Amino acid sequence: MYNLGEIAKLINAELIGDAKFNISSLASIEQAQAQQLSYVVNNKYSKSLLESKAGAVIIHESLKDSCTTNALIVSDVYLAFAQVSHLFKHHVNHTIGIHHSAKINNANIASGCCISANVTIGTNTSLGGNTIVEDNTSIGENCIIGPNVTILQGSKIGNRVVIAPGAVIGSEGFGNARDANKHWHSIAHLGNVIIGDNVTIGANTTIDRGTLDDTYIHNGVRLDNLIHVAHNVVIDEDTAIAASTGIAGSTYIGKRCMIGGMVGIVGHLNICDDVVINAKSTVDKNITSPGMYTGIMPLMPHKKWQIVGVWLIKLDKIAKYLNIKLNHLKGN
């Protein structure tokens, strides 16, 4: 627990409010409660700031009038948040064996596993050799966890889940903030990964933990090998994703979608239910209607791609125009 005076000193912030006010943890502006600290990057979230229950927020001076709680005023909100996030990160030491506080019921635990503090493992679940399960993780009943799987702190895994060898659940997300000298500062990801029932996760697939809220894999999802699911992604029920697909942060994928191999999905997108995306496609905008989608182009300089993209969009209009001209000439 840290008070606002300590935090203000760390990030060189102007403090408006109570310096002795204690902060227990960080949370998103929508989810934050009375003892939690949040942040707002720009005016887009001014309404959320006004409605937030956060005990304190990190904001730019331009949002001061929209803040009704304790405020830490800084010039670079994202950088300040990155620095503060590490205060609340919990580090886990790995020791082979089963911690005395773990509840493993009659689970089958192979040799070389590390089961940390406050872990719960359900009935008839098996863990392959050298698997790591960190603090405060829960695994449901009738799960099959392969060898060399890493399940990091706070992860929640449902019933009848299959995780193939080498998968990593709850790894640190790829979030970084740049300072004035263009140096990178990592963001500690404090959310968790929640996996529903009847989910299959392929070999060497990685699912990152959320930044503040959780990454969520819903019931019945099928993930192939070598997939990367970034922080705060939500994959809804019964969606299947083929190998080597990458999904950037904070993207929502709907129910019953089918996504081919080597698809790249840009962050902060929404993909509706019942969408099929063909292999090697790049998804760079929201998909709001069910159906089959393909988007494949060879690599080229970006400026050239911008020109090509404009012409591709206009091809149908050009074709119609040429047909009209051709018919007109034939008529003459």
Digit-coded pLDDT (tens) for 5-21: 999 999 999 999 999 99
The answer to whether the CB of 58 falls within 8 A of the CB of 74 is yes
Give pLDDT, residue 93: 84
pLDDT at 298 over 70: no
| Total number of domains constituting the chain | 3
pLDDT at 332 over 70: no
Query: pTM here?
Result: 0.89
Kindly report the average pLDDT of the chain as a whole number: 94
Catalytic residue from among 189, 218, 228, 231: 231
Tell me, yes or no, if 231 is annotated catalytic.
yes
Q: 315 lies in which domain range?
A: 301-332
Residues 233 and 122 in one domain: yes
Give pLDDT, residue 299: 61
| Residue in the structure block whose two tokens are 């989608």 | 293
Residues 45 and 136 in one domain: no
pLDDT at 329 over 80: no
Residues 126 and 13 in one domain: no
Mean pLDDT score, 61-89: 94
Residues 21 and 141 in one domain: no
Mean pLDDT score, 206-235: 98
Side-chain-side CA neighbours of residue 32 (13 Å): 27
Q: Which amino acid is at 199?
A: V
Q: State the pLDDT confidence band at 305, using cuts at 50, 70 and 90.
A: confident
Q: State the pLDDT confidence band at 308, using cuts at 50, 70 and 90.
A: confident
Give pLDDT, residue 147: 98
Residues 286 and 255 in one domain: yes
| Residue in the structure block whose two tokens are 């996760």 | 201
Give pLDDT, residue 66: 87
Residues 40 and 114 in one domain: no
Cβ neighbors of 134 (< 8 A, separation 6 or more) are 92, 94, 116, 119, 151, 152, 153, 154, 155, 170
The answer to whether the CB of 223 falls within 8 A of the CB of 200 is yes
Residues 44 and 66 in one domain: yes
Residues 184 and 83 in one domain: no
Q: Where are the beta strands (DSSP E) in 97-205?
A: 97-98, 108-109, 114-115, 120-121, 126-127, 132-133, 138-139, 144-145, 150-151, 156-157, 162-163, 168-171, 176-178, 184-186, 193-195, 200-201
pLDDT at 27 over 80: yes
Cβ neighbors of 242 (< 8 A, separation 6 or more) are 224, 259, 260, 261, 262, 263, 279
Residues 166 and 84 in one domain: no
State how beta strands 264-265 and 291-293 pair.
Answer: unpaired
